[in-house]
Amino acid sequence: MDEFALTVWQGIASIVSEQVQSRGCVVCAALKPTSGISPMKTSLRVLSLVLALGAASTVAQAQGGGGGGGGRGGMSMEERKTRMFEGITLTADQKTKVDTIMAESAKKQQELRSSMGPDGDRQAMMGKMREIQTEQSKAIKAVLTADQQPVFDKNMEGMMPRRPGN
């Protein structure tokens, strides 16, 4: 679940929990005549809220989630870079080259996502994404010194997703 949908549902859970603790059943409390609103209007409001939140959650999910990791359960480019180069001190020249390599890879991945569309072959796209990431790693390793490369390899190994059967 993306961050936006999670935040929405946590907010709903918090409100419901608070209402249940203070009044018992949320819907029952809302429908009490003392609330000043007719039960029909209250029911319609509750239904509208639930439908709106469900629609917002679905739209956010379809768009790939909120900020941070881009919806892939992954990390932002800065988070990836931090993990990739943990324990490695890059020179200014290396930083510039790495930034260029990563920006080019991100552009290729975005173009691939756009060209595939929502009904594209997800398996094929993931295979091409892995190819782009492999090319990126090779290009980055070419920028690193012989001492930095093993540390980079170890960092990359730690970032690889664990898949069943692998």
The per-residue pLDDT for range 47-78, each reduced to its tens digit, is 666 666 666 556 555 554 444 444 445 667 78
Question: Does pLDDT of 83 surpass 70?
Answer: yes
Residues 6 or more apart whose Cβ sits within 8 Å of residue 125: 112, 113, 116
Q: Per-residue pLDDT averaged across 27-51, rounded? A: 59
Closest residue by Cα to residue 145 from 86, 89, 99, 72: 89
Q: Are 4 and 65 a contacting pair, CB within 8 Å?
A: yes
User: CA–CA separation, 37 vs 56, rounded Å?
Assistant: 26
Residue 93: band (very low, low, confident or very high) from pLDDT cuts 50, 70, 90: very high
What distance in Å separates the CA atoms of residue 22 and residue 17, rounded to the nearest whole number? 9
> Rg of the Cα trace of the chain?
24
d(CA 22, CA 2): 30
Q: Where are the alpha helices (DSSP H) in the chain?
A: 3-23, 26-31, 39-62, 77-84, 92-116, 122-143, 148-159
Tokens 């490369």, located at residue: 149
For the chain, the average pLDDT equals 74
d(CA 93, CA 159): 25
Residue 154 clears pLDDT 50, i.e. is over it? yes
Q: Rounded mean pLDDT of 17-46?
A: 58
Please check whether residue 65 is in contact with residue 3, taking contact to mean a CB–CB distance below 8 angstroms: yes
The predicted structure's pLDDT at residue 107: 93
pTM of structure:
0.52
- Range with the poorest average pLDDT among 33-47, 59-73, 134-148: 59-73
Q: What token pair was written down for 40? A: 């029909």
Cβ neighbors of 58 (< 8 A, separation 6 or more) are: none
pLDDT digit string, tens, across residues 1-12: 566 666 766 667
Q: Is the pLDDT of residue 32 over 80?
A: no
Average pLDDT over residues 134-139: 94
- Token pair, residue 33, equals 């005549």
